[in-house]
Structure 1
Amino acid sequence: MITVAVETPRREEVAALLRHSDAVAAALYPGQFRRAIDPASLDCAGISLLVARHDGRTAGCCALFDREDGSGELKRMIVAEAHRRQGIGEALLRGAEALAIQRGIALLLLEVGIRNDAAYAMYRRGGFTPRGPFAPYTATPISRFLEKRLVPGISSLSPLPAR
């Protein structure tokens, strides 16, 4: 069973996922354009960390940043290696969409690296479309930018398959 809920980024198993996310990002994108993130930077007003659990085990997470202009940014989506290809990423997207709509966010934005083809494909399946950079980002050779308009009560993601 997969569950998604808002949790603190300071729990050790969640912090370990965030460290793993940074290690993956550092391996894929060494250099000046990578932005590290730590649990403390996600534990503040306007940021919600969604944690996916598979049969009670921490399986993935993503952060929803409320930009306070009717838009939100998804950041730091990561699924633990042992839980990949099990619907965790899609569950996190559904959870982020539901939370965004609940908070009055009508537009989700995200930036994904050009070497992360699996994530890019998942976002596209989830209804995200390409767009240009949004503040505070500028165009870089390693980034792709996407957006999705949200409609209350409607998700373009298919339901989770029975497990």
Structure 2
Amino acid sequence: MIRVARADPRDPGPRALLEASHALMRELFEPEENHFLSVDELAAKDIRFFAATEDGEVLGTGALAVREGYGEVKAMFTAEAARGRGIGALILVKLEEEARALGLPLMRLETGDKLEAARRLYGRAGFVVRGPFADYVDHDSSIFMEKVL
């Protein structure tokens, strides 16, 4: 059974998956187009980091960065062997539950134009395209989305 729960991004399982995610983002996008948080940044007090596990194996990760007036979805990644099993959707539900529990009125995110599966996941979850937010710069490769809770 797949379980999504708070985790420490510095633990070996989540760390390995995050490092794989970061490597992929570096392959797909230029440095100025990458907005991922480091493993240590994901352990900060304003971040709620979650991992999806099954039988002790980390299948996916996701985080909610608590910002003024919204929660930002970060570190969404599913292990290649676990793709197509709904892991991302399970994590996204948990992030939304966390945002609601914190009383946040909406969730926002930035994703890449080459990440078609991620964009489909967010669209199915009710996220809609919007313009840049916070200190993001509008790159052609960036797609910004939000969901009112």
The DSSP-based 3-state class of the residue aligned with 1:14 is helix
**Structure-2 change in CA distance of 1:30 and 1:147 (3 Å):** same
Give 1:105 shift: 1.1
Shift of residue 38 of structure 1? 2.1
Question: Conserved in 2, the CA contact under 8 Å of 1:3 and 1:53?
Answer: yes
Partner SS state of residue 74, structure 1: strand
Name the aligned partner's letter for residue 76 of structure 1. A
Q: State the Cα distance separating 1:31 from its structure 2 match.
A: 3.4
- For the Cα contact (< 8 Å) 2:13–2:57, is it kept in 1? no
Identity over the aligned pairs, expressed in percent? 39
CA RMSD after TM alignment: 1.1
Offset of residue 35 of structure 1: 3.4
SS at match of 2:40: helix
Q: Which residue of 2 aligns with 1:156?
A: none
Q: Post-superposition shift, 1:36?
A: 4.8
Query: Which stretches in structure 2 are left out of the alignment for 5+ residues?
Result: none
SS at match of 2:61: strand
Instruction: Give the CA deviation at 1:32.
Output: 2.4
Shift of 1:46: 0.9
Where in structure 1 do 4 or more consecutive aligned residues deviate above 3 Å?
A: none
Corresponding position of 2:38:
38
Unaligned runs of 5+ in 1: 151-163
Contact 1:15 1:38 in 2 (8 A): no
**Which residue of the partner structure matches residue 125 of structure 2?**
126
* Partner of residue 113, structure 2: 114
Counterpart CA distance in 2 for 1:77 and 1:22 is 11
Q: 1:30 Cα deviation (Å)?
A: 2.7
Whole-angstrom distance in 2 between the partners of 1:138 and 1:32:
9
Distance 1:58-1:50 versus aligned 2 partners, 3 A rule: same
Q: Is the 8 A contact 2:52 2:59 kept in 1?
A: yes
1:62-141 to 2 correspondence within 5 Å? 62-69=62-69, 71-141=70-140
Q: Provide the aligned length of Structure 1 versus Structure 2.
A: 149
**Distance of 1:76 and 1:112 partners within structure 2:** 10
TM-score scaled by structure 1? 0.87
